[in-house]
Every structure is written in structure tokens, then in C-alpha cells.
Amino acid sequence: MSSFWKDTARDVRLMKRGWRWGHRAQVPRSAEPFVPPATTTVFDNEWSRKPAARAVREVAQAGLEAVFRSQVKTQVEGLDVLERLDGPVIFVANHASHLDTPLILLSLPDEWRRRTAVAAAADYFFDTWWRAVGSSLVFNTLPIDRRGGALANAPGEVLADGWSLVVFPEGTRSKDGTVGRFRSGAAYLAIEYGVPVVPIAHRGTYAAMPRGVSWPGKDKAGGRRQLTVRFGDPLRPTDGESVREFAPRIRSAVSRLLDEDATDWYASMRRAAEDRTPDPAGEEIAEWRKVWAATESPDPEPDKIRAWRR
């Protein structure tokens, strides 16, 4: 009988490893063309913006913050832009990791954080009831169809109700740490509902917790990884500006902020004026080099003279 339990344990281990229990299932690369289109059941989460859910979220986010701060270091810049705004806004950020959402939410002042929802892929965060409930309660997520279909909870209605919205226009986490193509959903919402766009650039989340990793890693010295996040001046569509024209402006603003975060404000402004802002999509170089660069945590104060070597 002992061999039965031994074999059972071996089977369980094999299945746990093979089917990545606790993680999302993966499809072998050669089978990817044969994956059927997802027929996602989207779970409605309008309840998550009611007072009771907001109370639960307050507690959940307090717990989240404690865990988050214990695992990563953050440096937040540019929050003063929010002082000049009072209505709902659309926060637009680059997307490299599951850490992006807590980083942005926990960087916001409390009064903003409590009234901010996060646009999340319906096929990823709302395909099971428990994922929908979990992400709604903790992050105030809002299901978005990345393939462009209509959903019951139109983000516009949420904006109209006075909620701000975090949007990751790339639609998915970066595979190599660089910034991908921006879809035009955020620009469309801003024009349609007349709300400003606040660009956000953050760095370091890819290095801390890239795709396929479920917990933030440590740096070489075993310390917490550094994350930086920078809020930019709000962008408003000009009269008659189309979605096609506004969307690239948003991406340029995020690019400039990334440049600013890596260098300094004035230098980044000079480069922007001369249209020399580095493309965050990266150069045409081997993928490994992009990944290599992105796995380096940002140094928020590169020129600081240190008394002690780190």
C-alpha cells in the first residue's frame, strides 16, 4: 500500500508540474495556431463599485499595500498633476507585469485610488467567477474585451459615473520588456466622454516580475527590487482631433515620461522638442538584448554619490 501512496504522490507531482497548478495553463508553441477562439463567459461586476464592495476593497488594498511594500521599493514622481484635476481621468500606462496595476493604484493618493477602476482583459480576469470576484474586490477591475467586442459594463458608463480608469493600451504584458503598439481605446474614450488622459510611465516591473513569474523577485544583493512610476501632464483632445491623431500623442507622452524617468526632465523635453525621444519599442536588435536590458532594475538616483557600495 505504501507504494500506492508513493505512486499517487508521484502522479500528483507530475500533474502539478505538467499542468502548472496555481498558474495559468500554457499551450505548447506548435499548438498555438490550433487553439480555439476563447468563448469567455464574462462575469458582471457592477456590484464591485457599490459601497459594501468598496469597504471590503479598502481593507484588501491595505493588506495588498503591506505585502507590496515588503517585496518592492517604489519611487513615485509627478503626482502633483492630480492636484490640478478634479474630475475623472483616464490613466494610460505601459504594461510589463502584473505588478503594474498595484504599483499605479498604490501610488495614487487615497481619494483618487478609491475612485479608480482598472480596465482588465475579460478573457483573462473574468473567465471564472473566482477570478472575477478576486480581481474586482482587490483592484476594482472592469472587464474589457481586447478583441473589440461589446461588454455589459461599458467603460464609458463607469467614467460617466465619475470613476477614473486605468488603461493599458498595449492590451497585454510586454514579452520582452519593451513597449508595444498602443491600441486606440483610451483615445476613443477620452474623446467620447471628454475626460483628460494622464500618461504614466513606470519602469522596473518587468525586471521584478515578468510574464510567467507569480511573485516579485529579489535583486542581486537579495534586496527588494526598485520600481519607479512617473505621472505626466494631462492630455486633452483638441477641438476636432480624431482618435487616430490623439492616440499617437498619448504614446508619445508615455515615451517621453519613460525617457524622463531614465534621464532627467529637461533633457527629455529637449529630445522631445527635437523629435528625438527614444522609441520605447526598442531598436531592431536581438530579442535577448531587449530582455537583457529590461531585466535591469532602474536606478532612481544614478548620479548620487554613495558613501557605501551597494
Binding to other proteins (CB under 8 A) within 227-246 occurs at none
Near other proteins by CB under 8 A: residue from 22, 24, 34, 275: 34
Per the CB < 8 A criterion, the answer to whether 93 and 201 are in contact is: yes
| Cell of residue 205, nine digits | 516591473
- State yes or no: residue 26 binds other proteins (CB under 8 A): yes
Per the CB < 8 A criterion, the answer to whether 82 and 109 are in contact is: yes
Of 169, 176, 50, 57, residue with least CA distance to 121:
169
| Cell of residue 36, nine digits | 480555439
Q: Using the minimum distance from each CB to other proteins, give the nearer residue, 11 or 157.
A: 11
Q: Using the minimum distance from each CB to other proteins, give the nearer residue, 31 or 307.
A: 31
Q: Rounded to 5 degrees, what angle do the CA atoms 219, 125, 136 make?
A: 95
Q: Which residues of 194-215 are buried (b: 16+ CB within 10 A; e: fewer)?
A: ebbbbbbbbbbbbbbbbeeeee
Gap between the Cα atoms of 131 and 129, Å rounded: 6
For the CB of residue 8, give the shortest distance to other proteins in the complex, in Å.
5
- State yes or no: residue 11 binds other proteins (CB under 8 A): yes
Backbone torsions φ then ψ of 20, nearest 5 degrees:
50, 55
Cross-strand pairs, 164? 116
Question: 232 Cβ partners below 8 Å, 6+ apart?
Answer: 78, 81, 198, 199, 200, 201, 253, 254, 256, 257
For the CB of residue 241, give the shortest distance to other proteins in the complex, in Å.
42
- State yes or no: residue 41 binds other proteins (CB under 8 A): no
| Cell of residue 134, nine digits | 478576486
Per the CB < 8 A criterion, the answer to whether 136 and 186 are in contact is: no
Q: Using the minimum distance from each CB to other proteins, give the nearer residue, 31 or 221.
A: 31
- State yes or no: residue 266 binds other proteins (CB under 8 A): no
- State yes or no: residue 288 binds other proteins (CB under 8 A): no
Gap between the Cα atoms of 143 and 120, Å rounded: 5
- State yes or no: residue 18 binds other proteins (CB under 8 A): yes
- State yes or no: residue 36 binds other proteins (CB under 8 A): yes
Near other proteins by CB under 8 A: residue from 24, 29, 84, 220: 29
- How many residues touch other proteins under the rule CB under 8 A: the total is 19
Near other proteins by CB under 8 A: residue from 15, 67, 152, 285: 15
- State yes or no: residue 28 binds other proteins (CB under 8 A): yes
Question: Stretches 1-9, 39-47, 282-290, 299-307: which one binds other proteins (CB under 8 A)?
Answer: 1-9
Q: Using the minimum distance from each CB to other proteins, give the nearer residue, 65 or 127.
A: 127
Gap between the Cα atoms of 209 and 216, Å rounded: 5
Q: Using the minimum distance from each CB to other proteins, give the nearer residue, 214 or 242.
A: 214
For the CB of residue 35, give the shortest distance to other proteins in the complex, in Å.
8
- State yes or no: residue 7 binds other proteins (CB under 8 A): yes
Q: Using the minimum distance from each CB to other proteins, give the nearer residue, 29 or 309.
A: 29
Positions in the binding site for other proteins (CB under 8 A): 4, 7-8, 11-12, 14-15, 18-19, 25-31, 33-34, 36
